[in-house]
Structure 1
Amino acid sequence: MIKTTINASRRLRACAALLLTLGMGIAPQAAYAVLDEGDGAIELPGPGADARSTVSEVMARIQSGSVPAADQRPFMRPITLAQLEDQLRRPEVQASIGKGTIAVLYPNVEPQFRPAFTSIIQGIEERTKLRVRSYPVDPKMDIAELNATLKQNGTKVVIALGRQGLNATAGLDREITVLVGGVLLLSDAENVAGISLTPDPAVLFARLRALLPDLRRVVVVYDPAKSDWLIRLARDAARAQGLELVAHVANDLARAAQLYPQVIGSADNRRDALWLPHDSTTVEESTILPLVLKESWNSGVPVFSSNMLHVKKGALFAMAPNNVELGRTLASSALGVIAGDGKRRSLTPLRELQTAINLRTASHMGLNLGHQQQRNFDFVFPQP
């Protein structure tokens, strides 16, 4: 990390020196000497122009190969090195020196639904140290116009947030790499790269074992058409935790409604737990979920979920996205693409997670969590 920071700083100083060399007509050695002065102040051309337009003009000269003669140099005004480095970090300047830029597409939703997406964007910018261009999208958006704008801005990677963000990438040039995030992808058949909102079973099962160390089996009811890829991951994750995964197939709602009373009724509440994945067939909210939670409460079989909203309704615990960390991880992948690392990227489950616990359910099942243990959870229900 230190080496990366040093190299990035050197590149910025080299660019600054190049700007001074070509834009001001001074020797490279003198340019570096200016950058090394104690007050960090340098001068850029442009009477009355702001720093942004000035840097853009100089970069344009560099690209065109046109360097003004010494007697044609305009008036010089001071600008600090910090200000110049800030301008060099701007997306269009990064694009102009051949790096390419990162853009974010996010759903154009009502303000009350935006915080999740703005938190992801915050994480992206914290990781890249750059202000990324963000575009709200909706079904009415002109995709051709969006594509032209992205190309004009030197976009190399698009991070698509939400289902609308992903849909908007369908008409983009193949040269633009797409990474998805903040989307509940239920099948690897969608052939996209990025991070699903589905929690990684490995993280879920590790938290389960920490909470219930005597547990031996995880029971799940799932629809293969939607969750087969997730169950494959879950089998390996359970084995790594010393657990047995018992998976029951339900291709429709009626079959799921038949299975749950059977599997809960035959479960051992000291050694078995029921997992509710993101599966709209087998974890239907209006009928299946109330049925499962009622059976769980009566039998004492713990239920944990991939959906944090289920904790409020009575599930023992669940996991939810840590949106800022998700943004940082997506940004790391995007930077890898720009760096040309050639790594094959695919759909992965979410590992940047926060945990919620229902204390009332825990107490009902004989699990009394002290204040110190409660601090290990990000959200506690019922809220005091």
Structure 2
Amino acid sequence: MIQARFSPARLLGALLAACVLAGPAAASTASTGATVAAPATIELPGIPAQARQSVGALFDTIDGVSPALPWRDDVVPVTMAQLEDQLRRPDVRASIGKGTIAVLYPNVAQPFLAAFTSMIKGIEERTGLPVRSYAVDTRQDGGELNTMLRQAGTKVVIALGRQGLSATAGLDRDISVLVGGVLLLSDTDNVAGISLTPDPALLFARLHALLPDLKRVIVVYNPKNSEWLIRLAREAARAQGLELAAYVAGDMARAAQLYPQLIAAADGRRDAVWLPHDATTVEESTILPLVLRETWNGGVPLFSSNVLHVKKGALFAMVPDNVEMGRTLASSALGMLAGGARGRTLAPSRTLQTAINLRTASHVGLQLGWQQQRSFDFVFPRP
């Protein structure tokens, strides 16, 4: 089952619809009372003929608006001059005749839905173009979805979450796919977009700003999940003058053995432990409580790629800004519509927010004044 979501602020479609309702024929009827046939086409000054022919496809993106229906209260009539100004915008001209953008997002309940609706908000703000959003689930009929997207002239799909990505499996090959709001857990995920995983470079920069005397970052990881991330982390650590001490654990049992040994040998003044997004070495029910206990007892700073760990005792973590992620995805989608190359890399997130645990900060000897606290987006425990 597919649920379609439409934004009331679809400016371009509204402007074009306004031309149909407020064109010369409508004016003639109003002044004379006679019935006048609407023109077959509307001449748009400055727009090539080929582009004008494709403009009609954009009318489909306005739900429930047609010349035969009452005008919607949320649409503001505009003049032809205003319409021309909008059509001269580079992003609009680049997309006319080259298809539309669609968003697939998981059909989930709150609070999980909030992250995806924030991403959609960012997408709509950046594009300023008609964007249809479809809620999909595991029972999704791939053929039905493909047909709907083709009929809407879709050329780029932004797939949010694992369900959104899974729903793209049956799409036509000429529809480009961008992914957001997912965790890349393997190099084999041959997709383009933005991962939920924070960029290690930004994590390490924040760590260095908080604790400039640190010299080493300790991490335990499973190569099947995180080899790609550790490669990025080595370069990021080097740029901050840090040593990345990375230890391999192929299963939870090995991770449970390594953490106590590594933390016991660590110097809390010079070493810190990093928890990446890794389902094996950062398992929530057994491994995470173990690491939290050992680092607290040893006075070793612990930071994470998962913001939920800050509430449980990690010093700090970074989390994607979902609206900004949507804007970044939209910029890439517009580039694809304009003829840009399709990427094949899922990059870590670089538009981030930061959470800090003041109790843990005090425990490791870090005193943060009011001004410093204000530099964080989330502060725990809450005042």
TM-score range with shorter-chain normalisation? 0.7 to 0.9
2:53 is aligned with what amino acid?
Q
2:336 is aligned with what amino acid?
V
Residue 242 of structure 1, CA deviation: 0.6
Secondary structure in structure 2 of the residue aligned to 1:328 = helix
1:59-78 Cα deviation digits (max 9, x unpaired)? 999639xxxxxxxxxxxxx9
Matched, 1:243 2:233: no
Residue 57 of structure 1, CA deviation: 6.6
Q: Which residue number in structure 2 is paired with residue 109 of structure 1?
A: 108
1:231 is aligned with what amino acid?
I
Secondary structure in structure 2 of the residue aligned to 1:45 = helix
Q: For 1:332 and 1:56, how far apart are their aligned partners in 2? A: 34
User: Which structure exhibits the higher relative contact order, with contacts defined as CA atoms closer than 8 Å and separated by 6 or more residues?
Assistant: 2
Secondary structure in structure 1 of the residue aligned to 2:111 = helix
2:205 is aligned with what amino acid?
A
Match of 1:63 among 50, 53, 58: 53
2:289 is aligned with what amino acid?
P
Residue 168 of structure 1, CA deviation: 0.1
Matched, 1:45 2:25: yes
Q: Which residue number in structure 2 is paired with residue 308 of structure 1?
A: 307
The answer (yes or no) to whether the contact 2:264–2:298 under 8 Å persists in 1 is: yes
Q: For 1:102 and 1:210, how far apart are their aligned partners in 2? A: 40
Q: Which residue number in structure 2 is paired with residue 298 of structure 1?
A: 297
Residue 206 of structure 1, CA deviation: 0.4
Matched, 1:159 2:158: yes
Listed as ranges, the gaps of 5+ residues in structure 2 are 1-11, 31-37, 44-48, 55-76
Please report the TM-score for the alignment, with normalisation by the length of structure 1: 0.79
Q: Which residue number in structure 2 is paired with residue 184 of structure 1?
A: 183
Secondary structure in structure 2 of the residue aligned to 1:114 = helix
The answer (yes or no) to whether the contact 1:304–1:315 under 8 Å persists in 2 is: yes
Aligned pair in 2 of structure 1 residues 262, 155: CA closer, same or farther (>3 Å)?
Answer: same
Secondary structure in structure 2 of the residue aligned to 1:189 = coil
The answer (yes or no) to whether the contact 1:273–1:302 under 8 Å persists in 2 is: yes
1:326 is aligned with what amino acid?
M
1:316 is aligned with what amino acid?
L
Instruction: Quote the sequence identity (%).
Output: 73
Q: Which residue number in structure 2 is paired with residue 210 of structure 1?
A: 209
Alignment coverage as a number of residue pairs: 330
The answer (yes or no) to whether the contact 1:55–1:87 under 8 Å persists in 2 is: no
Aligned pair in 2 of structure 1 residues 169, 121: CA closer, same or farther (>3 Å)?
Answer: same
Residue 55 of structure 1, CA deviation: 10
Residue 87 of structure 1, CA deviation: 9.3
1:128 is aligned with what amino acid?
T
1:63 is aligned with what amino acid?
Q
Q: Which residue number in structure 2 is paired with residue 368 of structure 1?
A: 367
Secondary structure in structure 2 of the residue aligned to 1:283 = coil
The answer (yes or no) to whether the contact 2:191–2:343 under 8 Å persists in 1 is: no
Q: Which residue number in structure 2 is paired with residue 37 of structure 1?
A: none
2:23 is aligned with what amino acid?
E
Q: For 1:173 and 1:268, how far apart are their aligned partners in 2? A: 55
Secondary structure in structure 1 of the residue aligned to 2:319 = strand
Residue 267 of structure 1, CA deviation: 0.6
Residue 268 of structure 1, CA deviation: 0.9
Please report the TM-score for the alignment, with normalisation by the length of structure 2: 0.79
Residue 382 of structure 1, CA deviation: 0.2
1:204-245 Cα deviation digits (max 9, x unpaired)? 000000000001000000000000000000000000111100
Q: For 1:85 and 1:186, how far apart are their aligned partners in 2? A: 47
